[in-house]
C-alpha cells in the first residue's frame, strides 16, 4: 500500500500517493467511517481530482479504524428526517453523484474492506472495480429495518451480486460474512487480516503495468457490452473499439514493445529511450 502522505484539505479523508497509486482513506474512525454530507462532498471532489491526476494509475478506497464504512452517520440521518421531499432528493443526488464519481473513474479502483461494510458502505465497495476483504469483514444491507430502501446504491450492488442474491439481502437485511460476500460476487478476494495489504498490493502490481488508456477503454467497454444482445450493432461497436486501440499511441507502443521483447513506455520498469538524459 502507498505510504507517503500528500498534503490534504479534506476534513473526512486522507489521501496518500506513491508509485502511481492513490489511497483514499475514509478518516472518521470514531463513527466507523459513517458518511455525512461533508464526507460525500469530499469523496466526490477527491475522486474527480484523482481522475485528472496524470501521476495516478490506480486508486484504493480504504477505511481508518475498525470499520470500512458503517453507512450513514446517525446525526446526518436525524437531520434528513426533518427534510422536505425536495431537500431529501437533493441530498440523495449528492450521494448518487459520489457513487457515480467512483464508478465512473477512468482508472482502476480497488476497495480494501475490513470490519463492517454496511448499507452505503456496500455501495462504496460495489462502485469500485475490484473488492478485497479480510476474513473478519461483515456485510449488511440494513435499510428496510429502518423503513428505507437501498436505492442510490442499488445499481452498483445489483451489478455485483446479481438479482437473486439482491432479493434475499435487500429484503432480509441480515448480516453475512466475507465467505458469503465472495460466494455471491460482492468481493473477488478474501485475505487474512494480516495479509490484506499484501493481496491489495499484488493486484495493484498488475494494474500499474497496464496501459492507462487501455485500462480506461476497457472500463468503458465493460459498461457498453454488459447485458447487451450480441447483434450487428454490438459486433460493429466492438470492431470499432479494437481498431481504435490498434491505431492508438499505446496500442502501437504495446505491440512494438512485445515484438522487441522490452517493457512498454508506460511500464514502471521501462528503460528510457536511448539518448535520453536521466531526470530530463
CATH number for the domain including 26?
Answer: 3.90.226.10
Let me know if residue 62 belongs to a domain. yes
- Tens place of pLDDT per residue across the chain (280 aa): 444 444 458 999 999 999 999 999 999 999 999 999 999 999 999 999 999 999 999 999 999 999 999 998 988 888 888 889 999 999 999 999 999 999 999 999 999 999 999 999 999 999 999 999 999 999 999 999 999 999 999 999 999 999 999 999 999 999 999 999 999 999 999 999 999 999 999 999 999 999 999 999 999 999 999 999 999 999 999 999 999 999 999 999 999 999 999 999 999 988 765 544 433 3
Do 180 and 221 share a structural domain? no
Report the number of distinct structural domains present in the chain: 2
The pairing of strands 21-26 and 13-18 is antiparallel
In a domain, 216, yes or no: yes
Q: Can you give the pLDDT at residue 273?
A: 54
> Domain range spanning residue 259?
211-280
> Are the beta carbons of 157 and 128 closer than 8 angstroms?
no
The answer to whether residue 149 is domain-embedded is: yes
Residue 98, φ and ψ in degrees, nearest 5? -60, -50
Determine, yes or no, domain membership for 7: no
The H or E element containing residue 217 is helix 212-225
CA distance 151 to 120: 10
Residue ending a domain, choose from 207, 227, 251? 207
**How far apart are the C-alpha atoms of 26 and 217, rounded to whole Å?**
28
pLDDT given at position 77: 83
Degrees (nearest 5) of the Cα angle 101, 198, 177?
70
Query: For the residues of 85-112, what is the DSSP string, one character each?
Result: HHHHHHHHHHHHHHHHHHHT-SS-EEEE
Tell me if 2 is assigned to some domain: no
Task: Write the Ramachandran bin of 240: left for phi over 0, alpha for psi from -120 to 50, otherwise beta.
Answer: alpha
C-alpha distances in angstroms, 25 versus 3, 80, 85, 184? 11, 25, 32, 26
Q: CA 206 to CA 199: how far, in whole Å? A: 11
178 and 46 belong to one structural domain? yes
- Based on the domain organization, do 68 and 110 belong to the same domain? yes
Indicate if 235 and 101 belong to the same structural domain: no
What are the start-end ranges of the E strands in the chain?
A: 13-18, 21-26, 58-63, 109-113, 116-118, 130-134, 138-140, 176-177, 189-191
Q: How far apart are CA 172 and CA 89, in angstroms?
A: 25
Query: What pLDDT, on a 0 to 100 scale, did the predictor assign at position 274?
Result: 52
Indicate if 184 and 278 belong to the same structural domain. no
Instruction: Count other Cβ atoms within 10 Å, centred on residue 279.
Output: 5
Tell me what pLDDT residue 280 has.
30
Q: 89 with 203, same domain?
A: yes
Question: Could you tell me if residue 6 is inside a domain?
Answer: no
Last residue of a domain, which of 180, 207, 234? Answer: 207
Structural domain includes residue 1: no
Contact 169, 161 (CB under 8 A): yes
Q: Is there a domain that residue 3 lies in? A: no
Q: What is the CATH number of the domain that holds 246?
A: 1.10.12
C-alpha span between 89 and 8 (Å, rounded): 30
Distance of CA 47 to the CA centre of its chain: 10
Please check whether residues 137 and 269 belong to one and the same domain: no
Beta bridge partners of 189: 132
Give me the residues paired with residue 223 across strands. none
Same domain, 75 and 129: yes
The pLDDT assigned to 76 comes to 86
**Are both 168 and 243 inside the same structural domain?**
no
pLDDT of residue 8: 57
Residues designated catalytic: 143
**Sign of the CA dihedral running 150, 152, 156, 162:** positive
Let me know whether 136 and 267 are in one domain. no
pLDDT for the residue numbered 278 = 34
| Claim to verify: residue 225 and residue 201 sit in the same structural domain | no
Domain's final residue, options 207, 222, 255? 207
Q: Is 12 left (phi over 0), alpha (psi -120 to 50) or beta?
A: alpha
Q: Are residues 278 and 170 in the same domain?
A: no
Q: What is the pLDDT of residue 39?
A: 97
Amino acid at each position: 500500500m502507498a505510504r507517503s502522505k500528500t498534503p490534504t484539505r479534506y476534513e473526512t479523508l486522507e489521501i496518500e500517493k506513491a508509485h502511481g497509486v492513490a489511497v483514499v482513506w475514509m478518516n472518521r474512525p470514531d463513527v466507523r467511517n459513517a458518511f455525512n454530507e461533508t464526507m460525500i462532498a469530499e469523496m466526490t471532489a477527491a475522486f474527480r481530482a484523482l481522475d485528472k491526476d496524470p501521476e495516478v494509475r490506480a486508486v484504493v478506497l480504504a477505511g481508518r479504524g475498525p470499520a470500512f464504512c458503517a453507512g450513514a452517520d446517525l446525526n446526518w440521518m436525524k437531520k434528513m428526517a426533518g427534510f422536505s421531499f425536495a431537500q431529501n432528493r437533493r441530498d440523495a443526488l449528492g450521494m448518487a453523484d459520489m457513487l457515480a464519481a467512483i464508478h465512473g473513474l477512468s482508472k482502476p479502483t480497488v476497495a480494501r474492506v475490513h470490519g463492517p461494510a454496511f448499507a452505503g458502505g456496500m455501495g462504496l465497495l460495489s462502485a469500485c472495480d475490484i473488492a478485497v476483504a479480510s476474513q473478519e469483514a461483515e456485510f449488511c444491507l440494513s435499510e428496510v429495518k429502518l423503513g428505507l430502501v437501498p436505492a442510490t446504491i442499488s445499481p452498483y450492488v445489483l451489478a455485483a451480486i446479481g438479482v437473486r442474491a439482491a432479493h434475499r439481502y435487500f429484503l432480509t437485511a441480515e448480516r453475512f460474512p466475507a465467505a458469503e460476500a465472495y460466494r455471491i460476487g460482492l468481493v473477488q478476494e478474501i485475505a487474512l487480516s494480516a495479509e490484506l495489504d499484501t493481496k491489495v498490493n499484488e493486484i495493484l502490481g498488475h494494474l500499474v503495468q497496464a496501459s492507462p488508456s487501455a485500462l480506461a477503454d476497457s472500463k468503458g467497454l465493460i459498461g457498453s457490452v454488459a447485458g447487451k444482445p450480441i447483434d450487428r450493432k454490438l459486433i460493429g461497436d466492438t470492431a470499432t473499439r479494437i481498431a481504435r486501440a490498434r491505431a492508438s499511441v499505446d496500442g502501437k507502443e504495446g505491440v512494438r514493445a512485445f515484438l522487441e521483447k522490452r517493457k512498454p513506455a508506460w511500464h514502471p520498469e521501462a528503460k528510457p529511450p536511448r539518448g535520453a538524459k536521466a531526470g530530463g
